[in-house]
């Protein structure tokens, strides 16, 4: 069993947009790692971590955005629960990859990081 306390403390030091960016990045990693049959354990680990990231972020957001995050967390839980069937079925893995991509893009958009102005 992994001790998540230190990871939570580090994660929660970041502002909400950065946390959302990290969640989006994790979901993008899920999508990209689904192509390699040796990555099953890695993907399931990222799914677990992403669920915690959402748990640590949603309570600090407005109700509507928090609900969107919780829906994504529920999706991650469904993947986790059915992982052995998903991993052995290429069509199911492709569907998960597509859903992970869509969720990643949605959360990245929600973060506002793409519309932020970068100052040198």
CATH number for the domain running over 16-110: 1.20.120
Burial of 104 (0-12, 13-18, 19+ CB in 10 A): buried
Burial of 46 (0-12, 13-18, 19+ CB in 10 A): buried
Q: What is the pLDDT of residues 34-88, one digit of tens each?
A: 988 899 999 999 999 999 999 999 999 999 999 999 999 999 999 999 999 999 9
What's residue 35's pLDDT?
A: 87
Cβ 24 vs Cβ 104: under 8 Å: yes
What's residue 120's pLDDT?
A: 46
Q: What is the pLDDT of residues 13-36, one digit of tens each?
A: 999 999 999 999 999 999 999 988
Q: Where are the domains of the chain?
A: 16-110
């Amino acid at each position: 069993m992994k001790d998540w306390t230190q990871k939570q403390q580090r994660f929660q030091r970041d502002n909400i947009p950065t946390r959302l960016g990290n969640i989006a990045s994790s979901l993008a990693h899920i999508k990209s790692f689904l192509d390699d049959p040796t990555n099953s354990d890695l993907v399931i680990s990222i799914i677990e971590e992403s669920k915690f990231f959402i748990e640590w972020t949603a309570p600090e957001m407005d109700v509507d955005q928090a609900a969107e995050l919780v829906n994504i967390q529920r999706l991650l839980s469904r993947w986790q629960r059915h992982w052995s069937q998903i991993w052995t079925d290429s069509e199911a893995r492709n569907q998960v990859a597509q859903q992970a991509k869509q969720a990643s893009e949605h959360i990245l958009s929600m973060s506002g990081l793409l519309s932020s102005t970068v100052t040198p």
